[in-house]
Structure 1
Amino acid sequence: MEEISHSTLEKMLADREPITVVFVYTPLCGTCKLAEKMVAVVDSTLESLPIYSLNINHSPAFAQKWKIKSVPCLLLFQKGLGVERIYALQSIGFIHDVLKPYAAARALLENEQTERG
């Protein structure tokens, strides 16, 4: 999982990346630390879907813009638009099941671009 800044994330969204997944946390949140470990396991299994992490303490404007009510939070964007917001990261299996369709979609898009390129 790659840590990104608010400005980098905003650029990715403005560039309308096909699928962007962001794990939002704060460093002093115990639940966030547990969730981060689970998300990291899923990140290692879904190679076609990079997952980014964002320390919301450094990005209050982002939290307000996207109406993040609590952490940990998993945000999913398609072409710069917020499509899903998940607060209850129950288990590795749950997170994997949520992200697997996005990973498959991203892999298909990458294959199409490779074939065209």
Structure 2
Amino acid sequence: MQDLTQQALLNRVNNLDDGAFAVFLYTPFCGTCKITERMLEIIMTMQPALPLVKSNINFLPQISREWQITSVPCIVILEAGKEKEMMYRMQSVDELYRRLLPLLKA
């Protein structure tokens, strides 16, 4: 999972025509974020082509404000022509897998 800076993430968002993707927003000292990252690593092992990146919310003041991120961990699914989908509750690998798998077809 590639770790993007704020500028790299904004560039990717501005080029949604290149395809839908998801971004995992975290902070390094968040225990729940570490658990979510482990679950996402399992999914990435099963689906290495999944368009998923991560970004440390501490370095995303503009995005955090614009997207109104209320807490971490947060997974934001971005698709051209659709409203951002925010996920704040990650219950299981299976649930995350089902929610992220459609990105492969987008």
Is 1:47 aligned to residue 43 of structure 2?
Answer: no
Per-residue Cα deviation, 1:64-83 (whole angstroms, up to 9, x for no partner): 11111000000000127543
Q: Which amino acid aligns with 1:85?
A: M
Q: Structure 1 segments of 4 or more deviating over 6 A? A: none
Deviation at residue 18 of structure 1 after TM alignment: 1.4
Is 1:10 aligned to residue 10 of structure 2?
Answer: yes
Deviation at residue 13 of structure 1 after TM alignment: 1.1
Residues of 1 paired with 2:67 and 2:31: CA distance? 23
Deviation at residue 50 of structure 1 after TM alignment: 2.4
Residues of 2 paired with 1:57 and 1:100: CA distance? 28
Residues of 2 paired with 1:87 and 1:58: CA distance? 19
Give the SS at the match of 2:55. Answer: strand
* Number of matched pairs: 105
Q: Which amino acid aligns with 1:2?
A: Q
**Structure 2 stretches lacking a partner, 5+ long:** none
Is 1:89 aligned to residue 90 of structure 2?
Answer: yes
**Which of the pair has more CA radius of gyration?**
1
Q: Which amino acid aligns with 1:99?
A: L
Q: Superposition pairs for residues 1-117 of structure 1, below 5 Å? A: 1-16=1-16, 17-79=18-80, 82-103=83-104, 105-106=105-106
* 1:6–1:59 Cα contact (<8 Å) kept: yes
RMSD: 1.5
**Structure 1 stretches lacking a partner, 5+ long:** 107-117
Give the SS at the match of 1:69. Answer: coil
* 1:75–1:82 Cα contact (<8 Å) kept: no
Give the SS at the match of 2:78. Answer: strand
Residue 21 to residue 65, structure 1, CA distance change in 2 (3 Å): same
Residues of 2 paired with 1:63 and 1:93: CA distance? 27
Identity of aligned residues (%): 31
Residues of 1 paired with 2:74 and 2:29: CA distance? 14
TM-score by length of 2: 0.91
